[in-house]
């Protein structure tokens, strides 16, 4: 019988990728490091019982897994640990991880900096750069040194930040620990994580207790010394911030705050701790107008705590419709809740399919059959496949011959699955066409016309000036074949800022041309930013939530895109993916 707690392919892939990175960081064989990295990529989208394969000594049957890597996988799958990873981690100065946050500074150069200059962190790197030592290194030079210096501030700022999925994972693990403390009667995640912010600067939790101060002291006792917390991150200590509050500082730079309140105040305090300052400030003003007092320690009437069962009760007492956590950003949602104008937010269950997905025809890990079957299994009625165009040679971009072959295979899939009486399902023939530096789309117009839809994305020449990049993208938006503008700013969260571009001007052009704007749901992108999505929707632009999936598993990235759509206040009808198959089919045909 399979042990369901055994690490799966995704967890194993993380370990292999970490080993590959650390091997390169320590200057070991590039071939060996690349082998671990490639094996990690192969496992990311795999659906396999690794425990069974390990027990049968059949791990080498997996693509990219040789005998040495199979041994590492077997050890981790069966024991939950890896001697090799622990060895590499132990001999890696923590400061080197910070250097990896500097845009454009890879592990090979970090190894050189560490070996040649003794650089073991951001401060040491800054000192070496100021002394001219970095520029003097072979293969670096003044220009590279200047870019590294620019990236140090970015690295310092990002050290304490986490993308939403990582922050959520840490928060859930910490929450289990907080709830296990006897003095705590209940606890919840609040703050930016509960508002589903794309970047989180601190984990926030609220705990209820009969004696809040005692509960805080108990938490300090649990987390006050080094120990396992939030998975691989060890708690570096805890401190008292105020009565009933504890700050947990984790060794990887993450900070978590736990505040303990009386049980009667817990529900109202959850609202206070979830919303940002503007949101809760507006609620406090409304409470005062009604002779109530709303603050961090709950809701009071005549000086007495008002116990609440649900958060909606607090909003109701203030004459407001319930405001979902994602909207509690102080952007007019309180006023709309008072006038009955809050949107009915889109849900994951509203989606009937998606459009920006990759297969083995370019750089995806699953075949057309596998992606289509996975979409049907999720209850969808359509799936759009948009592999890379020929300009993206690094990603296996499709030649015109390969385009024709893929389209023929998609036709075959659709014919094979058009069974009378079955739930209708269709794969749409798309392409992620590179927006070339001059703003034209990759492929001639006659080839572009063979697709059901075209996603246009920038994948090169990111360094263009703002005016030039804006002109480039607007030209693409005006192309009659363009259906969807993909990841419009090119940002990679906590890795690189988006390219310089005038988004309001691009949105205006998209509205005029009837072009759909993408929320790229890959959690490393979440592009377009939800604040701009809000503006786009107000302009009448239709939004597509796309996972940018390169594997079956990554189809589930859609959940992160839904978070952003909800933060933007989108209703189902404003999202293309919520339209039924017949309507999407008609819409795409009319766009052509």
- The tens digit of pLDDT for each residue in 39-52 reads 998 887 777 889 99
Residue 284 CA from chain centroid, whole number: 33
pLDDT of residue 225: 43
**Secondary structure percentages of the chain, helix, strand, coil, to 5:** 50, 15, 35
551 and 365 Cβ atoms separated by less than 8 Å: yes
The answer, yes or no, to whether residue 464 has pLDDT greater than 50, is: yes
466 and 500 Cβ atoms separated by less than 8 Å: yes
Q: Strands 304-305, 353-354: parallel, antiparallel or unpaired by DSSP?
A: unpaired
What is the per-residue pLDDT across 402-458, written as a single tens digit (0 to 9) for each? Answer: 999 999 999 999 998 875 556 789 999 999 999 999 999 999 999 999 999 999 999
pLDDT of residue 331: 96
**Largest Cα–Cα distance of the chain, in whole Å?**
77
Residue 154 CA from chain centroid, whole number: 19
Give the residue from 137, 200, 130, 190 showing the smallest Cα distance to 165.
200
In the chain, % of residues over pLDDT 90: 79
The answer, yes or no, to whether residue 2 has pLDDT greater than 50, is: no
pLDDT band at 224 (very low <50, low <70, confident <90, very high): low
pLDDT of residue 220: 87
For 344, phi and psi rounded to 5 degrees? -85, 105
Residue bearing the bigger pLDDT, 83 or 249: 83
Contacts of residue 288, defined as CB under 8 A and 6 or more positions apart, other chains included, come to 294
Measured CA to CA, the distance from residue 85 to residue 25 in angstroms comes to 13
Residue 134 CA from chain centroid, whole number: 33
Strand order from edge to edge, sheet including 426-434: 353-354, 382-388, 426-434, 453-457, 484-485, 516-520, 543-546
Give, in order, the Cα–Cα distances in Å from 487 to each of 225, 236, 390, 558.
43, 38, 19, 14
- Cβ atoms within 10 A of the Cβ of 552, count? 22
258 and 246 Cβ atoms separated by less than 8 Å: yes
Measured CA to CA, the distance from residue 217 to residue 207 in angstroms comes to 13
pLDDT band at 235 (very low <50, low <70, confident <90, very high): very low
Measured CA to CA, the distance from residue 392 to residue 398 in angstroms comes to 8
The answer, yes or no, to whether residue 251 has pLDDT greater than 70, is: no
pLDDT of residue 230: 33
- pTM score, two decimals? 0.84
Residue bearing the bigger pLDDT, 373 or 418: 373
- Cβ atoms within 10 A of the Cβ of 251, count? 15
Give the residue from 348, 418, 365, 343 showing the smallest Cα distance to 581.
418
Give, in order, the Cα–Cα distances in Å from 1 to each of 4, 7, 292.
9, 15, 58
Measured CA to CA, the distance from residue 373 to residue 380 in angstroms comes to 10
Measured CA to CA, the distance from residue 215 to residue 178 in angstroms comes to 10
Q: At what angle do helices 122-130 and 141-158 cross, to 10 degrees?
A: 150
Q: How many residues are there in the chain?
A: 592
- Cβ atoms within 10 A of the Cβ of 571, count? 15
pLDDT of residue 80: 87
Q: What would the mean pLDDT of 158-185 be, rounded to a whole number?
A: 93
What is the per-residue pLDDT across 347-357, written as a single tens digit (0 to 9) for each? Answer: 999 999 999 99
Give the residue from 545, 532, 589 showing the smallest Cα distance to 571.
545
- Cβ atoms within 10 A of the Cβ of 319, count? 11
Give the residue from 15, 28, 141 showing the smallest Cα distance to 72.
15
């Amino acid at each position: 019988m399979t042990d369901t707690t055994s690490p799966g392919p995704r967890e194993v892939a993380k370990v292999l990728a970490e080993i590959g990175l650390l091997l390169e960081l320590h200057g070991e064989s590039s071939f060996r490091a690349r082998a671990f990295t490639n094996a990690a990529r192969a496992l990311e989208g795999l659906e396999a019982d690794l425990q069974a394969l390990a027990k049968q000594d059949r791990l080498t049957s997996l693509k990219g897994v040789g005998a040495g890597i199979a041994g590492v996988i077997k050890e981790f799958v069966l024991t939950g640990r890896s001697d090799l990873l622990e060895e590499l981690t132990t001999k890696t100065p923590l400061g080197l991880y910070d250097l990896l946050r500097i845009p454009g500074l890879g592990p090979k150069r970090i190894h050189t900096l560490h070996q040649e200059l003794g650089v073991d962190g951001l401060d040491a790197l800054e000192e070496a750069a100021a002394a001219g030592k970095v520029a003097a290194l072979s293969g670096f030079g003044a220009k590279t040194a200047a870019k590294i210096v620019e990236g140090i501030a970015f690295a310092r700022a990002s050290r304490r930040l986490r993308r939403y999925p990582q922050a959520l994972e840490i928060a859930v693990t910490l929450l289990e620990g907080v709830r296990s403390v006897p003095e705590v009667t209940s606890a919840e995640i609040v703050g930016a994580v509960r508002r589903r912010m794309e970047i989180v600067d601190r984990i926030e939790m609220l705990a209820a207790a009969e004696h809040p101060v005692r509960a805080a002291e108990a938490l300090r006792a649990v987390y006050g010394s080094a120990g396992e917390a939030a998975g691989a991150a060890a708690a570096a200590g805890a401190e008292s911030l105020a009565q009933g509050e504890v700050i947990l500082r984790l060794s990887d730079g993450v900070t978590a705050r736990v505040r303990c309140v009386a049980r009667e105040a817990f529900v109202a305090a959850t609202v206070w701790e979830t919303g940002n300052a503007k949101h809760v400030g507006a609620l406090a003003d409304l409470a005062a107008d009604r002779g109530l007092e709303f603050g961090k320690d709950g809701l009071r009437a005549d000086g007495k705590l008002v116990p609440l069962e649900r958060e909606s009760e607090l909003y109701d007492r203030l004459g407001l419709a319930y405001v979902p956590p994602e909207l509690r950003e102080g952007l007019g949602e309180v006023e709309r809740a008072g006038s009955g104008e809050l949107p009915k937010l889109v849900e994951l269950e509203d989606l009937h399919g998606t459009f920006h997905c990759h297969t083995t025809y370019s750089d995806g890990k699953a075949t057309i059959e596998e992606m289509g079957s996975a979409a049907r299994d999720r209850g969808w009625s359509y799936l759009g496949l948009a592999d890379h165009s020929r300009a993206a040679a690094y990603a296996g971009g499709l030649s015109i011959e390969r385009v024709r072959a893929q389209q023929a295979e998609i036709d075959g899939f659709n014919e094979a699955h058009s069974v009378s009486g079955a739930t209708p399902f269709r794969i749409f023939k798309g392409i992620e066409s590179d927006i070339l530096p001059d703003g034209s789309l990759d492929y001639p117009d006659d080839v572009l016309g063979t697709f059901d839809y075209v996603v246009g994305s920038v994948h090169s020449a990111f360094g263009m000036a703002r005016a030039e990049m804006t002109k480039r993208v607007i030209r693409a938006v005006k192309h009659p074949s363009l259906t969807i503008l993909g990841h419009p700013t090119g940002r990679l969260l906590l890795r690189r800022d988006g390219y310089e571009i005038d988004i309001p001007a691009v949105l205006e052009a998209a509205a005029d041309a009837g072009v759909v704007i993408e929320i790229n749901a890959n959690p490393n992108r979440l592009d377009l930013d939800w604040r701009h999505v809000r503006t786009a929707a107000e302009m009448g632009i239709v939004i597509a939530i796309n996972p940018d999936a390169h594997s079956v598993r990554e189809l589930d990235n859609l959940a992160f895109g839904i978070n952003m759509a909800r933060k933007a206040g989108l209703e189902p009808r404003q999202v293309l993916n919520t339209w039924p198959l017949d309507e999407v089919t008609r819409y795409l045909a009319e766009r052509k």
